[in-house]
Amino acid sequence: MDPFKALVIRRDEETKQQSVAVETLTADALMDGDVDVAVEYSTVNYKDGLAITGSAPVVRRFPMIPGIDFAGTVTASTNPDFKPGDKVVLNGWGLGETHMGAYSQLARVKGAWLIPLPEGFSSEEAMAIGTAGYTAMLSLLALERHGVTPEGGPVVVTGATGGVGSVAVALLAGLGYTVEAVTGRASEADYLKELGAAAIVDRGELTGKPRVLAKERWAAGVDAVGGAVLANVLTMTTSEGAIAACGNAAGLDLNTTVAPFILRGVSLLGINSVYQPKARRIEAWRRLAGDLDRGKLAKITRTIAFDDVVAAANDIVAGKVRGRLVVKVG
């Protein structure tokens, strides 16, 4: 078996301390699956940062190869839907959490988790979008199913300089929405306006104790932060509005009241990007191919080397990363 390079998280069972290092493995170190993929590109998402730094219990078994998404080329398959040479993408399904993940030159996965690389995308572009951009599109689709339209009023995007937020701003603005972008970094105002934000909101306005109801401000939104920020946004959402919640950078707690829901009819739409039916995954990527401005995607993306993943993971958890980080794996 040909050796390959992978980033491996191991844990000392006595001290419960984890270590992370690049190792040389062979295919017998991988888990069961019916498709082998030569990984070409992956990304650094916030969840990847949590896994690598051990800041949250993302990894559920050890040893583990982290990385929750990849794009690459099938090298072997017993699954009838895929053959060697096929270009594929994978998001979620426990990759990097319960199943050996994407920071590896070879991945062995279940074919049911894969979709064909969307037409018109390179592997690198698909990972410039990655799980973060895919999550942003799932959020947009949920808002559309709720009946949200550009004519309904301004929409808010929290965590706007992060991966999900940056893509959400670009997508919504490109579709004609008036986007108000929330950030704690005033220096990034020009960046967000280049993506299409009509206004910049200081995150400090949304971190205090939420009122039962506040002045109506936004018809809808995408929240990638959670915690007090989401609680405040809910109190400021207009009658029959909706917020798609897809992140927890500010914490898992949501201290709010039922007032926004029973007095204004506000809807809180949960977005689960890990487990989605195949048809919805394909629809999300189809929409990304048609709705996401490639020029804006390039503005928010930086490609890093495989050996830089650990440093990038620490940076993303520390809030130092803007936009999307693509990892050249293969």
Mean pLDDT of 142-167: 97
Locate the DSSP E strands across 97-216.
Answer: 106-109, 115-116, 155-157, 179-183, 199-202
User: pLDDT tens digits for 92-103?
Assistant: 999 999 999 999
Cα–chain center distance at 149: 23
Provide the pLDDT confidence category of residue 251 given band limits of 50, 70 and 90.
confident
Q: Where in the chain is the domain with CATH 3.40.50.720?
A: 131-270
Residue 1 reports pLDDT greater than 80: no
For 4-117+300-328, CATH gives 3.90.180.10
pTM of the predicted model as reported, rounded to 2 decimal places:
0.92
88, 82 contact by CB (below 8 A) = yes
**Helix pair angle (123-146, 278-291), 10° resolution:** 100
Residue position matching structure tokens 């979620």: 92
Q: Where in the chain is the domain with CATH 3.90.180.10?
A: 4-117+300-328
Residue 61 reports pLDDT greater than 80: yes
For residue 60, what are its two tokens?
């559920």
Mean pLDDT of 253-279: 96
**Helix pair angle (309-317, 46-53), 10° resolution:** 110
Is the C-alpha dihedral spanning 269, 136, 196, 121 positive or negative? negative
Cα–chain center distance at 305: 20
CATH topology of domain 131-270: Rossmann fold (3.40.50)
